[in-house]
């Protein structure tokens, strides 16, 4: 596979469930991101990992927990979510430290519905 892949593509979970979203990038990049995309709102940057170290956490509630075991994989662990957390969750990657530093490559997203 090439590019950025995300699984699952669709997820329905209750408020008491625990689930995880997975992202994998096959581009050799060293930075990975989680974004939340809600209808009629700008993309919200949630987390940034650079060289496996978390460098950004934009005041995201603790019910979202990221994990980056290596530069190719990124997880978002979910627990006790709220209905307003229903959204499309996008993963992206980029190669930092080059002239293309700001070009981010996105996965297809996971459509999350919290019931």
97 burial type by CB count under 10 A (0-12 exposed, 13-18 middle, 19+ buried): exposed
Stretch that binds other proteins, among 13-21, 60-68, 75-83, 93-101 (CB under 8 A): 93-101
Give least dist CB 16 to other proteins, A: 29
Q: Give whichever of 67 and 96 is closer to other proteins, judged by the CB atom.
A: 96
In this chain, which of 11, 24, 94, 112 binds other proteins, going by CB under 8 A? 94
In sequence order, the β-bridge partners of residue 13 are 114
Tell the burial category of 82 from Cβ atoms under 10 Å away from its Cβ (0-12, 13-18, 19+): exposed
Q: Which residue's CB is nearer to other proteins, number 13 or number 43?
A: 43
Site for other proteins (CB under 8 A): which residue of 14, 103, 113, 115?
A: 103
- Contact of 93 with 105, CB cutoff 8 Å: yes
Instruction: Identify residues 32-61 at the interface with other proteins (CB under 8 A).
Output: 33, 40-43, 45, 48, 50, 55-56
């Amino acid at each position: 596979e090439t590019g950025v892949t995300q699984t699952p593509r669709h997820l329905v979970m209750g408020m008491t469930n625990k689930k995880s979203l997975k992202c994998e990038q096959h581009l050799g990049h060293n930075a990975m991101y989680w974004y939340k995309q809600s209808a009629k709102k700008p993309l919200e940057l949630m987390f940034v990992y650079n060289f496996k170290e978390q460098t950004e956490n934009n005041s995201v509630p603790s019910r979202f927990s990221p994990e980056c075991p290596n530069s190719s994989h990124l997880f978002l662990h979910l627990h006790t979510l709220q209905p307003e957390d229903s959204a499309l969750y996008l993963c992206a990657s980029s190669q930092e430290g080059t002239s293309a530093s700001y070009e981010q490559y996105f996965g297809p997203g996971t459509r999350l519905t919290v019931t």
